[in-house]
Amino acid sequence: MPVIVHITSGPNQGQEKTLKAGEKLRIGRGDENDFSFPDDERMSRNHFVIKVEATRCRIEDLNSSNGTYVNDDRIERPCLLEDGARVRAGQTHFVVKIVGQTIHRSYPALRPGGSSRSIPTVEIPKFMAEACPSGLTCYRASHSLSESTPLRLIVGRLFQHGTPYLILDPTKLEPGTAPAALQSTPLFDWLPPEARQISPIIIPPGALEGDPIDVLDVAWDRNALLCIFVAPNVSVDIMLRHFQAMTKWSGDGSGSGEQGMLGWCWPAVLSPLLASREPKFVERLLQGVTAVLMEVPGQPRQWQVYGGAEFREVLLAADFLPGTAPA
């Protein structure tokens, strides 16, 4: 994956460097840098570095005095670069061309003459893993996302694991923002027909009229959305019936419909259940399910996944990196 760093304005305008996977480019005013800019008085001696890996390219500010900007946003942490990203350091402007990059974009590509903000800054997502008494592993972001990073670009990467079932509570959304679905099923199917409009709904994979990632924009941080990944050999009808049955289960294993209600369909309820209940309970509740993605209640712009130990490989394949909790 060759990466071309081209100078579009500034003292060295027109120059460029080409990098291959495994190479890095350190940029600054000092002669010791790979790309030196002694005539840029606003650039720090060691300003930023670009690192090229097998399938991605990232940039990191080196504690510069005046900051490093990607698409007009000052970066505070290492960030991923996309093809066409614009970088500014001191008086020098760069454009980064990533040759042959293929990426699922959940935002509009930069148009000629358009705003550089069409391509947002993307942090390198990092995760922590914690074994739970339930037998599951909880994978969680090691820090909250910065405001300059659209949450959909981070959380949406997990949709590479497969298109999830969405369990959505439209009553918790802003009026008029509920996504249009070609098919949805009330989760509380035991409610009388006239009352089912208050029920959370189940949206199977492929049933939304738009991109399922769009739901994140309207439902995240509202205790309104679960994204449930299911084993590929389980039919939609079976999963719909299972989700509905689990709302009529008290946890004693009978699932008789006479046991009461288990309100597992909201993150604030489900998260402690998956973390702390006994393995037998969780195994029954998540029958056919491989992982559950949801917000972290009370912690804005955070995400968490409950799944097996093997889900770590899914995160790594989606370009997440192991991290640690902030001090």
pLDDT of residue 29: 95
Rounded to whole angstroms, the Cα distance separating 191 from 113 reads 54
Alpha-carbon distance 11 to 41, whole Å?
10
Given a cut of 50, whether residue 133 has pLDDT beyond it is yes
- All residues at 6 or more sequence positions from 113 whose CB lies less than 8 Å from its CB, including other chains: none
Using one digit for the tens of pLDDT, what is the confidence trace for 295-309?
A: 999 888 889 999 999
CA atoms of 113 and 294, how far apart (whole Å):
38
pTM, to two decimals:
0.65
CA torsion angle for 59, 60, 64, 66 (degrees, to 10)? 50
Q: What CA–CA distance (Å, rounded) separates 123 from 105?
A: 15
Q: What is the pLDDT of residues 45-98, one digit of tens each?
A: 999 999 998 778 889 999 999 999 998 888 888 888 888 889 999 999 999 998
Long-range Cβ contacts of 75-78 (<8 Å, 24+ apart): 75/121, 75/148, 76/146, 77/123, 77/124, 77/146, 78/123, 78/124
Choose from 254-258, 290-294, 323-327 the range with maximum mean pLDDT.
290-294
Cβ 259 vs Cβ 248: under 8 Å: yes
Can you read off the two tokens belonging to residue 128?
């922590």
